[in-house]
Every structure is written in C-alpha cells, then in structure tokens.
Structure 1
Amino acid sequence: MYELKTKENDESVLAFIETVEKPKKREDAYRLLDIFTETTGHEAKMWGSSIIGFGSYHYKYASGHEGDAPLVGFSPRKAKISLYFSPGETRREELLKKFGKHTTGKACVYINNVEDINEEVLKELIRASINHLQSLYSNE
C-alpha cells in the first residue's frame, strides 16, 4: 500500500526556517508564517521535511486512496517560495490576476519574494482555499 511521505510531524517550524540559507528568503518565510498563522487561526506545523502547513483535512478519493494534508501551507525552497492552496478552488484564477508576480503549478503558486505580491490577496487565497477544502471534506 502507498505510504504518504508528507505527514505532519513535531519538528520545529522555527528551527526549519533558520536553516533557510538566504537571509531575504528566511525573512520572507517569517513574514509568511505571520500571515498564514493570523489568517488561518491555526498553529504552524511541519509536514514532511520542508512544508510548513496550517490546519489539516482528511481526504478519500473514489480510488480508495486517502490521507491527511494541510489546509494551506508554504515552503521556502531554494529556487522559489512554494505556496500551497486547494487546486479546485473556483476563485483562485480571479484572485491570482490581482496577486502580483508569480507562476503556478497544479496545486502550487510560486513566488520569488513577498514584496512581489499583494498580501491582502494572499489572505483571500488562503481563506478561499480553506473554505473550499472544508466544504468538500467537512463530513469525512
């Protein structure tokens, strides 16, 4: 059976942020930590070795695959900062038009630094993603 690699753990979020090599990226990680904590009302937790997640939900697909994941999160990666939102959230594309400089993947939004984005739109993206996931998985 498939074993999830990215699980919530008790590693220190602050200790992880302190390992970020570039001072500017480390500063951005602390700013994102504040924004996500304030917006979600959830304590930051490490998921795997490099994702800082907020809240969690349990999913189960028709295939039978199931697991737990953070509602939202971010990771200060070497190249860019990855922001994790629900990929199926309907307002995402509309909000991203006002977000600032970024690129996207299926579930990730990538930014170079926090000063390139609109923090209020980030908060809207966080709230929209959480609302979407909670409506999908609230009766799990």
Structure 2
Amino acid sequence: MKPTGGDVNEFLAAVTPAVRRRDAETMVRLLSEVSGREPVLWGTIVGFGSYHYRYPTGTEGDAPLLGFAPRRQATTVYLLDPRDDGGPDLTGLGPHTTGASCLYLKDLADIDLDVLRRAVKRSLERLTSGEIEYAEITVTG
C-alpha cells in the first residue's frame, strides 16, 4: 500500500452518506491530534504517518500508522488487532464490531470519543515502541 497523493478534503467532501462524511471529519481531527501528523490519502484510506513492516516469512509492505476509511456501511478504523491481548481496551466505546486490525463504527454520535482516542493512542504506542514481536516495524513518516 502506498500514499496516492489525492486531495483529502476533496475525497471527504464526496463521502456519502452524510453521517459518514460527518464522522470522517471527526476522525481527521481525532487522528491528527493523536498522531501529530497530517492526513494523507492511501487510495480510499485516510492515513496518518507511515511505517514499514516485515514478517519473518519475508512478507513486507507499508501502511499508515493510524488510518480510517469512510465506507458506506460503517467507518473502518485501522488499528493493531483490537482483539489482541495487548490491543486497545474498547470497554465503554459504544456500539462497534471488530475484525483483524479493524474497528467498525456505524455512527460516532453513539461512540465515547475518549475511549476511541485512547484506543488509537494505544495502537500508535504499540507500533512506535518496538513492542510488536511478530514483525519488524520501522516508522517511516
């Protein structure tokens, strides 16, 4: 995955439905605050910072340190696997579902943003601290 150089504001202005656009604007503010980085488009993912990963199998690539995608059904927030024991605590977050490295939120109005802020902060801390043992992580941006 690589940054595509698209205009983030133009991308967000075209997001539908309106609730997803509103949530995307909130996510940009929250992830900018937590990461200290500006948003960059990685296709249809809005990313903040970047890292390079390499697994023992030789698989490697690049990804945003933090990111989200305003999908039609839900906002997808990309974190280190939230189901992992070392992952972020989502207790009290509000209605959500999880998948491998994904947190799905249908409406941020129903979410405790402080819990979400702590979750994305924890994911960022794990990526940048050297705490990840299953892959070699190098922060690149």
Superposed CA deviations along residues 104-139 of structure 1, whole A, max 9, x for unmatched, are 101101011111111111111111101111123258
Runs of 4+ aligned residues of structure 1 deviating over 4 Å after TM superposition are none
Match of 1:54 in 2: 48
Identity %: 36
Superposed CA deviations along residues 77-110 of structure 1, whole A, max 9, x for unmatched, are 0111101001157142xx2122111001011010
Q: Report if the CA contact (8 A) 1:11-1:46 is conserved.
A: yes
Q: CA deviation at 1:8?
A: 1.3
Normalised TM-score (structure 2): 0.87
What runs of 5+ residues in structure 1 fail to find an aligned partner? Answer: 1-5
Q: Which secondary structure does the structure 2 equivalent of 1:7 belong to?
A: coil
Q: Report if the CA contact (8 A) 1:89-1:129 is conserved.
A: no
Match of 1:90 in 2: 86
Paired residues, number: 132
Amino acid aligned to 2:7: S
Q: Which secondary structure does the structure 1 equivalent of 2:95 belong to?
A: coil
Match of 1:3 in 2: none
Superposed CA deviations along residues 35-67 of structure 1, whole A, max 9, x for unmatched, are 11111101111112x100111111011111111
Q: Which of the two has greater helix per residue?
A: 1
Aligned equivalents of 1:37, 1:45: Cα separation in 2: 11
Normalised TM-score (structure 1): 0.87
Aligned equivalents of 2:85, 2:11: Cα separation in 1: 29
Q: CA RMSD in A?
A: 1.7
Q: Report if the CA contact (8 A) 2:74-2:104 is conserved.
A: yes
Q: Report if the CA contact (8 A) 2:52-2:139 is conserved.
A: no
